Structure 1
Amino acid sequence: MTVQCKVKSIQPLASNTYQILLHPETALDFKAGQYLMVVMGEKDKRPFSIASSPCRHEGELELHIGAAEHNAYAIEVVEAMKTALETQGDITIDAPHGEAWLKEDSERSLLLIAGGTGFSYVRSILDHCIAQNIQNPIHLYWGARDEEQLYAKDELIHIAQSHSHIDFVPVIEQAKSDWQGKVGNVLEAVNEDFSSLADFDIYIAGRFDMAGAAREQFTQNKSALKERIFGDAYAFI
């Protein structure tokens, strides 16, 4: 459905990455892992994962938008959000969308994989699992260009330390000398750490080519079940 929203705040998370809080005029029901469309024009709707979880969003919708210089698609949305915040104007969204939401009735272990701001997708799922006291083992792998882009790293480390069933593995491509985590590609890290993914529900968000490679690699090499790999990208590739 189409809903008018006020922009409550815009905060930088990392270089060219923003946290945007929207307050819809009508309460929005959605599932952990769904996305919304920002309406930029009659035939111009742009999708962004909802980073907040449905049980703890308190009427607000949180977005994480990566708007690097080469990404006009996202930059234009951030600029529209800034204008709405400054003028107290409205932003129109169309939501909810997506079939890759958390399957709460599943007893399988969860593997959450995010590339860059794809983290917003798995954040909603993770937070919902914690809030609902879902005790399935959860492994979260977050890949980014460098440590700065892992803007929620400290929060995730604390979550993993506080919950014995949650494991967090950060992966970066460009590491400084004091980096203690994994270096390289996030899919390579998953392939190294698991001999089999046959018993996992896998949730993945990032570039379409990453999602495609993950499904191919995990089904062919790690016994993952195609029907238990979830991601919005799979509706388009």
Structure 2
Amino acid sequence: MSIQCKVKSIEPLACNTYQILLHPESPVSFKAGQYLMVEMAEKDKRPFSIASSPCRHEGELELHIGAAEHNAYALEVVEAMKAALNDNSHIMIDAPHGDAWIQEESERPLLLIAGGTGFSYVRSILDHCVAQQRENPIYLYWGARDSRQLYAKQELLEIAKAYSNIHFIPVVEETADNWDGKVGNVLEAINADFDSLQDYDIYIAGRFEMAGAARELFTQNKQARSDRMFADAYAFI
């Protein structure tokens, strides 16, 4: 369904990464883990995960968009958002979309995996679980090029400190002298940390090749059930 939105704010989260708050003219009903499409033209709709959770988004939709100069697909969307904010005009979205939402009926432990700004997808799920006071064990692994891209690290550390069932494990590819966390590939870190993933519901957001690699690695090596692995990429690969 196409919905007209005001751009309420645009704030930098990290280098070339922006938090964008949209205020739709009519309420958008969605599930944690779904995404929306920004309508750039009649046949040009671009998907972005909704970072806010459905139980406490207060009528606004939050996006996290990584828009480096070489990524015209996302950069053009950010520029359109900035223009709408400056002109007090509107942008159009089509929402909701996606089948990789949280499985509300499941009491299995959760493994949330994010690569880069794929964090916006798992953030919605995590915030929903916190708001619903779910007691399932939750492990959130966030992989990034370097620690500067982990723009919500402090927020996640505070959540993990406040809730004994939530565990946050950041993984960076390039390390600085003061980094004391995991270094390398986020999937390899998970592979090393778990003996089995048979009992887990696994939610993944990142590049399509990451989702494909995760499915192959975890089903073959860690007894993960492919029917309990959820990612929007699985509709296409």
- Please tell me the TM-score bracket, short chain as reference: over 0.9
Q: Counterpart of 1:6 in 2: which secondary structure?
A: strand
1:179-206 Cα distance to aligned partner (Å, 9 max, x none): 0100000001100000100000000000
* Cα distance in 1 between the residues matched to 2:128 and 2:38: 23
1:8-47 Cα distance to aligned partner (Å, 9 max, x none): 0000000000000000000000000000000000100000
Pairs within 5 Å for 1:106-185:
106-185=106-185
TM-score for the superposition, normalised by structure 1: 1.00
Q: Report the alpha carbon displacement of residue 210 of structure 1 after superposing the two structures with TM.
A: 0.4
* Cα distance in 1 between the residues matched to 2:68 and 2:106: 37
Q: Tell me which amino acid in the other structure corresponds to 1:99.
A: D
User: In the alignment, is residue 204 of structure 1 matched against residue 201 of structure 2?
Assistant: no
Q: Report the alpha carbon displacement of residue 63 of structure 1 after superposing the two structures with TM.
A: 0.1
Q: Counterpart of 1:40 in 2: which secondary structure?
A: strand
Q: Report the alpha carbon displacement of residue 177 of structure 1 after superposing the two structures with TM.
A: 1.2
Q: Counterpart of 1:84 in 2: which secondary structure?
A: helix
Aligned residue in 2 for 1:52: 52
Q: Counterpart of 1:46 in 2: which secondary structure?
A: strand
Q: Report the alpha carbon displacement of residue 83 of structure 1 after superposing the two structures with TM.
A: 0.2
- Structure 1: gaps of 5 or more residues: none
1:75-98 Cα distance to aligned partner (Å, 9 max, x none): 000000000000011010000000
* Cα distance in 1 between the residues matched to 2:176 and 2:47: 33
* Cα distance in 2 between the residues matched to 1:5 and 1:28: 11
Q: Tell me which amino acid in the other structure corresponds to 1:119.
A: F
User: In the alignment, is residue 75 of structure 1 matched against residue 79 of structure 2?
Assistant: no
* Cα distance in 2 between the residues matched to 1:218 and 1:68: 31
Q: Where do 4+ consecutive residues of structure 1 move more than 6 Å?
A: none
Q: How many residues align?
A: 237
Q: Report the alpha carbon displacement of residue 69 of structure 1 after superposing the two structures with TM.
A: 1.3
Q: Counterpart of 1:234 in 2: which secondary structure?
A: helix
* Cα distance in 2 between the residues matched to 1:103 and 1:134: 12
User: In the alignment, is residue 231 of structure 1 matched against residue 223 of structure 2?
Assistant: no
Aligned residue in 1 for 2:31: 31
Q: Tell me which amino acid in the other structure corresponds to 1:166.
A: I
Q: Tell me which amino acid in the other structure corresponds to 2:95.
A: A
1:137-178 Cα distance to aligned partner (Å, 9 max, x none): 000000000000000000000000000000000000000111
Q: CA RMSD in A?
A: 0.3
User: In the alignment, is residue 92 of structure 1 matched against residue 96 of structure 2?
Assistant: no
Aligned residue in 1 for 2:63: 63
Calculate percent identity across the aligned residue pairs: 75
Pairs within 5 Å for 1:206-225:
206-225=206-225
Q: Tell me which amino acid in the other structure corresponds to 1:181.
A: G
* Cα distance in 2 between the residues matched to 1:202 and 1:76: 32
Q: Counterpart of 2:154 in 1: which secondary structure?
A: helix
* Cα distance in 2 between the residues matched to 1:57 and 1:178: 35
* Cα distance in 1 between the residues matched to 2:93 and 2:236: 21
- Structure 2: gaps of 5 or more residues: none
* Cα distance in 1 between the residues matched to 2:184 and 2:144: 9
* Cα distance in 1 between the residues matched to 2:126 and 2:64: 15
Q: Report the alpha carbon displacement of residue 104 of structure 1 after superposing the two structures with TM.
A: 1.1
